[in-house]
Amino acid sequence: MPEAYAPPTRNQSFLPLLLLVILIVPAAALRVLATHNGVWLDEIISLQIAKEVKSPWQVFSGVHNENNHYLNTLYLYLVGQQSYAPVYRRLSVVFGIGLVAAGYWLLARRSRGEAVILAGLLACSYPLIHFSSEARGYSGALLGSVVACAALVRCMEQSSRWRLLCMGLAYGLALVLAILSNLTACLIWLPLAAGSLLIFMGRPGRVKSALLWIAINVLPASVLTALYFLDLRHLPPLGGGPRMTLAHGLGRLLSLALGWPARDALTVWIVLIPLIALTVWQLAAIRKAGDPSWILLALIYLMPLACILFIKLAFFSPRYFLVVVPFVYVPLAMLLARLADARAGRALLAVVLALFVVGQARLYLSFLRVGRGQISAALRYMITDTPSPELRVASNQDFRALMELNYYAPRVLGDRQLAYVTLQNQVRFPADWYIFHGEGHDPPGPAVFYAQNQPAWYRVAYFGSSELSGQALTIYSHQPPQ
């Protein structure tokens, strides 16, 4: 049996568990409330995939679409084609609530105070709320990644064969949950696997340690291998998306995770530099205490940097690094717990937590206002100013517009008819309205623009969207705005 590190001593008070239960209640309420808005493009694609599959097995072997997040698609297949958006998002909400408890479990071995603070940060984090209330796979990937890390650390501490088996199995199953939810979970599995190999091979009994490492990683490796042969090798090239560098996208994600109000790339470093310094300092403290988990955390933090240096993507979205966000809060929770232990630091703790909550509340309230796009509101706006029974619409994005309009038109137009004019037909068949698609971080389209052999298009309305996912729509008409 490999040599085990002794787990830290723990406070046996039930107060931290009571605080965790109290935190779960608002965490659940925030996530449930965030499900009450319209589905957006990627959710519509997921619903279309679920509608087309004929059996659960086809979810894994017969789709070959980048939006097929296996467990989410399977859930959508089982619930059927409802017309009520919160139904589609219930699985994500359950996983998101579980993430709060998983964060507590991650740090409970060190300090119940740290565990409660981390659970509170996860409960209030806007990016985590956003993706815990969306019918995609990110919520399950977040939960599985945090549970896997917590189980792995405990696996490295156990001397009992039974507990070692339980924690190793929990680690493998959590990674399977994460991978089947969203493949971005590999950004956590790879550093966990590499870090645990370094730790195990640094102990006496290298052969037994190597066998243990293989045993705990064989389950997620087998699942990923099966997915490759069943689905991943058949995927077509990735489609279009927002034009954003990896470095800028990571900066935006971290600024949203911290509640930083500015949107430009330069001011993000005002908070990123102290955060990086805090993380390095905290990792050094963990290492000095003899806790090997510092290696796991360090490799997780280095993973986005490795992606920036070595991966060239045609397009990028900040949500691709979302699985790293819960671990960004870990050193912050450790520091805040230290402040709580000192009388002079409690006032500073209250200030930091208040700033965090205010920043997240600002983002959350903005999200409640615009959701993941306002497609139905845009359709109602155009209907109001269209006297004819037919609504003739064109757009700068045929694929996006057709997916969204085909979904929403039957739900909004009633007995009115919708005629969509594709890009190649816009000269021959003039439209009454033009929809300019943008991302949530984009400003409205230009006030006026000209298409070939057509009268001027005037911007008459703008329907915004959240930054992390969704479509912002600028509406144009040939009539100048009043």
The answer on pLDDT for 128 being more than 90 is yes
What is the DSSP pairing of strand 471-477 with strand 433-439?
antiparallel
Residue 46: pLDDT above 80? yes
Q: What is the pLDDT of residue 3?
A: 45
Average pLDDT over residues 104-114: 93
Residue 390 pLDDT > 50: yes
Residue with the larger pLDDT of the pair 335 and 264? 335
pLDDT at 214 over 70: yes
| pLDDT band (50, 70, 90) for residue 19 | very high
Q: SS3 sequence, the chain?
A: CCCCCCCCCCCCCCHHHHHHHHHHHHHHHHHHHHCCCCCCHHHHHHHHHHHHCCCHHHHHHCCCCCCCCHHHHHHHHHHCCCCCHHHHCHHHHHHHHHHHHHHHHHHHCCCHHHHHHHHHHHHHCHHHHHHCCCCCCHHHHHHHHHHHHHHHHHHHHCCCHHHHHHHHHHHHHHHHHHHHHCHHHHHHHHHHHHHHHHHHHCCCCHHHHHHHHHHHHHHHHHHHHHHHHHCHHHCCCCCCCCCCCHHHHHHHHHHHHHCCCCCCHHHHHHHHHHHHHHHHHHHHHHHHCCCCHHHHHHHHHHHHHHHHHHCCCCCCCHHHHHHHHHHHHHHHHHHHHHHHHCHHHHHHHHHHHHHHHHHHHHHHHHHHHHCCCCHHHHHHHHHHCCCCCEEEEEECCHHHHHHHHHHHHHHHCCCCEEEEECHHHCCCCCCCEEEEEEECCCCCCCCEECCCCCCCEEEEEEECCCCCCCEEEEEEECCCCC
Residue 149 has pLDDT above 90, yes or no: yes
Q: Whole-prediction pTM value?
A: 0.92
| Lowest pLDDT segment from 28-37, 235-244, 405-414 | 235-244
- What pLDDT, on the 0 to 100 scale, is given for residue 312? 74
pLDDT above 80: residue 118:
yes
At residue 12 the predicted structure's pLDDT band, cuts being 50, 70 and 90, is: low
Q: Where are the domains of the chain?
A: 15-370, 375-477
Stretch 438-444: mean pLDDT, rounded? 85
- CA end-to-end span of the chain: 78
**Section 113-130 average pLDDT:** 96
Tens of pLDDT, residue by residue over 161-191, are 889 999 999 999 999 999 999 999 999 999 9
pLDDT at residue number 6: 44
